[in-house]
Structure 1
Amino acid sequence: MYVVIVYDVGVERVNKIRIYLKQYLNWVQNSVFEGELTEPEYMKITSHLKEITDESLDHVICYKSRDKRYLDTDEIGTRKAEISTII
């Protein structure tokens, strides 16, 4: 599945979440990650995010699609970094 995760969390948790998500997804913009995940990976990530966020203060949104080709996106402006796969 193709996943886009966006978050708005307390400043003390921003780096912890960013470092964690970089293990699985591409960092495309401040507080925005995207990429392909298996169902078990997705479940692991969302479970861990619940552990490291404060649900009374933080907000995380996970958008899911069967495949990136079913996700229509429009971009305005300049990307901060190109997404690449290192083999």
Structure 2
Amino acid sequence: MPGSGIDVFVILVYDVNVKRVAKVLKTCRKYLNWVQNSVLEGEISKANYEKLRTELRRIIDKEEDSVIFYTFRTLKYSSREIMGVKKGGEEIFL
């Protein structure tokens, strides 16, 4: 987890067995915004980041599945461009 600030911006990418996709997506959507297939993003507190990681550890099979977290302390120097169809949503579902 970079830095010691309260919130960080996270991009989460996953590739899991089809048996676990729905459960992984549902868990991630409690904390992050769904962007498109297997990709979520959003600002998250350090405590919730740790909760998310713990929940995902219980769901995935480490021998078969992959979850990647990209964490950023700031988005000051970033931009986002969508080419083609915009998928997902901006709201977080609890």
Query: TM above 0.5, one fold?
Result: yes
- Within 5 Å, give how 1:3-82 maps onto structure 2: 3-82=10-89
More helix, by proportion: 1
* Identical-pair percentage: 40
Maintained 8 Å contact 2:30/2:92: no
State how many pairs are aligned.
Answer: 86
Counterpart of 1:58 in structure 2: which amino acid? Answer: D
Gap change, CA 1:44 and 1:71, over 3 Å in 2: farther
The structure 1 segments of at least 4 consecutive aligned residues displaced by more than 4 Å after TM superposition are none
Partner of 1:69, secondary structure, is coil
Counterpart of 2:13 in structure 1: which amino acid? Answer: V
1:84 deviation in Å? Answer: 4.2
Q: What RMSD over aligned residues (CA atoms) do the two structures have, in Å?
A: 1.9
Give me the whole-angstrom Cα distance separating, in 1, the residues matched to 2:46 and 2:77.
17
Counterpart of 1:42 in structure 2: which amino acid? Answer: Y
Partner of 1:62, secondary structure, is strand
| TM-score, normalising length: structure 2 | 0.80
| TM-score, normalising length: structure 1 | 0.86
Select between 71-80 and 14-23 the one with higher mean Cα deviation: 71-80
Partner of 2:82, secondary structure, is coil
